[in-house]
A and B are shown apart, each in its own frame.
Chain A
Amino acid sequence: MIWEIVIQPFADFGFMRRALLGCIAVSLGATPVGVFLMLRRMSLTGDAMAHAILPGAAVGFLISGLSLGAMTVGGLIAGMAVALLSGLVTRVTALREDASLAAFYLISLALGVLIVSTRGSNVDLMHVLFGTVLALNNDALVLLCSIASLSVLVLAVLFRPLVLECADPQFLRSVSKLSAVTHFTFLSLVVLNLVGGFHALGTLMAVGIMILPAAAARFWAKSIGGLILVAVAIAFLSSLSGLLLSYHYSLPSGPAIILVAGIIYAVSLVLGPAGGLIAQVLPRRPLQN
């Protein structure tokens, strides 16, 4: 019974194994980045950046069709350009960063949809917006695994500066020149993981696997290491369950994965011992000596 439901789809079908591996790679790379985005109160920035990569990917699509390399490079350039431009506008004008980023991402989204629509069909647009996790080829998997590997290695080295920048960015800026390097590297990781996630889950869903597990983990763990571990475990579980639901009930896989992550978030919100609703209502134990 369990074999038929859980194991057999992956044992029998290569496309299911590829989809699972793609989701695991996205979870390993993007979810820890999402934890740091959440800690820096930049969760909506991640969402804005996810939309910002669309025109670059669309230009790549315009030049060479559904080419992995062209769409990746285009997405990277567009994402970094929007991140840097919105930062620049914030520095030289009276506009705050959230408004500036919102303006850029809305322009990017409209431009991206327009470019894809001029040459491609609705199917192409759906591919760009919602991804094709069940159709990942070897090249796409190499890209996803490379991005995940780079993210894990960079986060391992820059863990302490990143934690410090979440807690007190002014302090890090005052004691070390590493602040600017850390911030830029982190932004690059966000864009890189969104571009990777976009191949699997599309521009609209990529940010879901980044932020939802991180938000759910907030109700189960208190240390940053714990948050990352729980978030990655939730992302794995969402990927596995979402793919199986998609296989057994013929549902679109990307939304199924993100919806499972959403359900885990809702359950965590109620049951989570670290600030969940029930934990808030229950009487607290008195302090012990």
Chain B
Amino acid sequence: MSAEKTLRLLLVGAGVRLGAALIIVAALWAAFFWATSTPGAL
């Protein structure tokens, strides 16, 4: 099996997982802005 074909097989589904990962990262940074900008007693 060629190296390129192997690499392609190893990365099957990476696009979908990357999409899901980007959503998680966006949610994390949204939480960061919420936690650091909401006023609190301390």
Chain A residues in the interface with B (C-beta under 8 A):
11-18, 20-21, 24-25, 28, 138, 141-142, 145, 148-149, 152-153, 155-157, 159-161, 164, 175-178
Number of A-B contacts (CB under 8 A): 81
Looking at the complex, which one of A149, A153, A160 makes contact with B11 (CB distance below 8 Å)? A160
- Interface readout for B1-22 with A: 1 if CB under 8 Å, 0 if not? 1010011011111100110111
Looking at the complex, which one of A18, A148, A157, A161 makes contact with B35 (CB distance below 8 Å)? A18
Looking at the complex, which one of B14, B31, B36, B38 makes contact with A156 (CB distance below 8 Å)? B14
B7: which A residues are within 8 A, CB to CB? 176, 178
Are A138 and B36 within 8 A (Cβ)?
yes
A24 to B24, CA, bound (A): 11
A150 to B14, CA, bound (A): 15
Which of B1, B18, B25, B34 has the largest number of chain A CB atoms within 10 A?
Answer: B25
A11: which B residues are within 8 A, CB to CB? 40
Are A24 and B31 within 8 A (Cβ)?
yes
A164 to B25, CA, bound (A): 25
Given contacts A12-B41, A14-B38, A21-B35, whether A149 and B25 have CB atoms under 8 Å apart is: yes
Are B28 and A148 within 8 A (Cβ)?
yes
Minimum CB distance partner of B34 in chain A = A17
A14 to B40, CA, bound (A): 5
Are A13 and B25 within 8 A (Cβ)?
no
Are A164 and B21 within 8 A (Cβ)?
no
B14: which A residues are within 8 A, CB to CB? 156-157, 159-160
A21 to B40, CA, bound (A): 15
Which of B1, B6, B9, B40 has the largest number of chain A CB atoms within 10 A?
Answer: B40
A28 to B25, CA, bound (A): 9
Are A157 and B28 within 8 A (Cβ)?
no
Are B17 and A157 within 8 A (Cβ)?
yes
A152: which B residues are within 8 A, CB to CB? 21, 24-25
Are A149 and B28 within 8 A (Cβ)?
yes
Looking at the complex, which one of A14, A24, A157 makes contact with B41 (CB distance below 8 Å)? A14
A155 to B13, CA, bound (A): 12
Interface pairs (16), CB distance under 8 Å: A14-B40, A20-B35, A24-B28, A24-B31, A145-B32, A148-B28, A152-B21, A153-B18, A153-B21, A155-B21, A156-B20, A157-B17, A159-B14, A175-B1, A176-B3, A178-B7
Are A176 and B28 within 8 A (Cβ)?
no
Minimum CB distance partner of B19 in chain A = A156
Looking at the complex, which one of B6, B21, B31 makes contact with A21 (CB distance below 8 Å)? B31
User: 3 shortest A-B CB distances, which residue pairs?
Assistant: A14-B40, A156-B21, A156-B17
Are A28 and B35 within 8 A (Cβ)?
no
Are B40 and A17 within 8 A (Cβ)?
yes
B3: which A residues are within 8 A, CB to CB? 176-177
B34: which A residues are within 8 A, CB to CB? 17
A145 to B32, CA, bound (A): 8
A15 to B41, CA, bound (A): 9
> Contacts A14-B42, A176-B3 given; 7 further ones with Cβ under 8 A?
A13-B41, A13-B42, A148-B28, A153-B18, A159-B13, A159-B17, A176-B10
